[in-house]
Structure 1
Amino acid sequence: MDDAATEVPDAPPPDHLPGGSRRLPRIAPLPEDRWDARVRRLLANAPRDPGGRVPNIFTTLARHPDLYARFMPFGGQLLREGLLPGRIRELLILRTAHNTGAAYEWGRHLPLAEAAGVSAADVRRITRGPDAVGWTDLECHLLRAADQLHRDARISTVTWEALASYYEEAELIEITMLIGQYHMLAFFLNSVGVQLEPGFDRTGTGKGARADG
């Protein structure tokens, strides 16, 4: 495969699940009156929106408390304790959200990206891919890596060698794991139908956008 960016294939129309169903979500967030003692402890440390509401991603995943308990430290390591600068991390996450049509992932990460220094112009370029005018050489290689992992499940030799001229081995590992983590989340969000909370922008999610995740 060459390094050229590839458009994401068209997906079913927004708001539709296979078979044309519009009944979303498939698995609803666990309502607070059904939180047992363990779930209440797990969600006590979850990030909260203004007003104290726990985001839908966490209250849905909490229906599998064993998985939730193991997932959160790994996700937190990549999101808050990783080796990659915040701007780079969020560029990779947003490109992955665009590639997978994950409206929830896209909408929730736009504010994080802005806080990490990703501009509105950057966000528009993310939807156009690694060959858009305005990226640095490094950013082109990073976005191309995200596209190649999405399309081919591997980073090409040319892109890997380019990234290796900037990064040490641990950072290269983190790039692949970060992109993979947000693919996994997109699979969960899109399939389960986690709905984006009011007030978050889904514009730019991509051709594959699902209103249910």
Structure 2
Amino acid sequence: MADTAFPPITDTDWPEAAAELRDGFAGRLNVYRTMAHHPALLRAWAPLRGHVVIDNVLGKQFSEVVILRTGVNLGSDYEWNHHVSRGRACGMSDARIASIKGALAGMAPEDAILASAVDELFTAKRLSPATQEGLVNLVGREGMFDVLATVGFYSTLGYILNSCGTPLDDDVAAELAARPLNAT
């Protein structure tokens, strides 16, 4: 059987076809170092990443709620743990972050609207008219589309992470070892 392991690519083995991305976002995270096994995909990924991660209209905290709940639905430990760190960095409390893993009833109302939309995308493969209305009321029309795009974007990353067994980045692992998620 052929070796199917796709570990994060080191600087030494970084593909020339994506050389300009190594010192930017792609070289900073194991998920993109794994994606570098397909340089053309990584290059195509960069512009969409710019919108979904940086330029979306959701704001940092709502974006993190959507990403965390996507990680929960995918069973992606990498996404969950990485975004625990990112959620903390943008001012979310541990209790709020932990609530995103649980039942909708245990979340703040705005978080529950977002998490419910994520869940609906995974279960029904679409947003119902009622869910669309709730999202538009919360984040606007463009925000609803950013929720859809964020779930799709991070689902693709989650499939890569889960399929390739990508290890958590050392800095995030060290942070969570020193300061585990505290739900209270």
Determine if contact 1:97/1:103 at 8 Å carries over to the other structure.
yes
CA RMSD after TM alignment: 2.3
Which letter does structure 1 place at the counterpart of 2:10? P
Identity rate, percent:
26
Deviation at 1:36, TM superposition (A): 4.3
Give the aligned partner of residue 16 of structure 1. Answer: none
User: Is it true that 1:88 corresponds to 2:67 in the alignment?
Assistant: no
Q: 2:76 aligns with which of 102, 113, 117?
A: 102
Whole-Å separation in 1 of the counterparts to 2:38 and 2:117: 32
Deviation at 1:56, TM superposition (A): 1.5
Whole-Å separation in 2 of the counterparts to 1:167 and 1:108: 24
Determine if contact 1:25/1:194 at 8 Å carries over to the other structure.
no
Task: Give the number of the structure whose residues are more often helix, by fraction.
Answer: 2
Deviation at 1:127, TM superposition (A): 1.2
User: Is it true that 1:77 corresponds to 2:51 in the alignment?
Assistant: yes
Tell me, which stretches of 5 or more residues in structure 1 are unaligned?
A: 1-23, 49-53, 205-213
Pick which of 195-204 and 160-169 moved more. 195-204
Whole-Å separation in 1 of the counterparts to 2:163 and 2:101: 22
Say which SS state the counterpart of residue 31 (structure 1) adopts.
Answer: coil
Give the aligned partner of residue 155 of structure 1. Answer: 127
Within 5 A, what are the aligned runs for 1:122-133? 122-132=96-106
What number of residue pairs does the alignment pair up? 174
Whole-Å separation in 1 of the counterparts to 2:139 and 2:161: 31
Q: 2:17 aligns with which of 23, 38, 44?
A: 38
User: Is it true that 1:187 corresponds to 2:159 in the alignment?
Assistant: yes
Determine if contact 1:92/1:179 at 8 Å carries over to the other structure.
yes
- Give the TM-score normalised by the residue count of structure 2: 0.84
**CA deviation profile, 1:117-136 (whole Å, cap 9, x unmatched):** 2210012211113221x512
- Give the TM-score normalised by the residue count of structure 1: 0.74
**CA deviation profile, 1:57-92 (whole Å, cap 9, x unmatched):** 121111111110110221121111111111000011
Deviation at 1:25, TM superposition (A): 7.8
Cα 1:33–1:95 shift into 2, 3 Å: same
Whole-Å separation in 1 of the counterparts to 2:64 and 2:4: 26
Determine if contact 1:30/1:63 at 8 Å carries over to the other structure.
yes
Determine if contact 1:25/1:193 at 8 Å carries over to the other structure.
no
Whole-Å separation in 2 of the counterparts to 1:63 and 1:47: 12
Deviation at 1:47, TM superposition (A): 6.0
Deviation at 1:37, TM superposition (A): 3.5
Pick which of 159-168 and 179-188 moved more. 159-168
Which letter does structure 2 place at the counterpart of 1:135? A
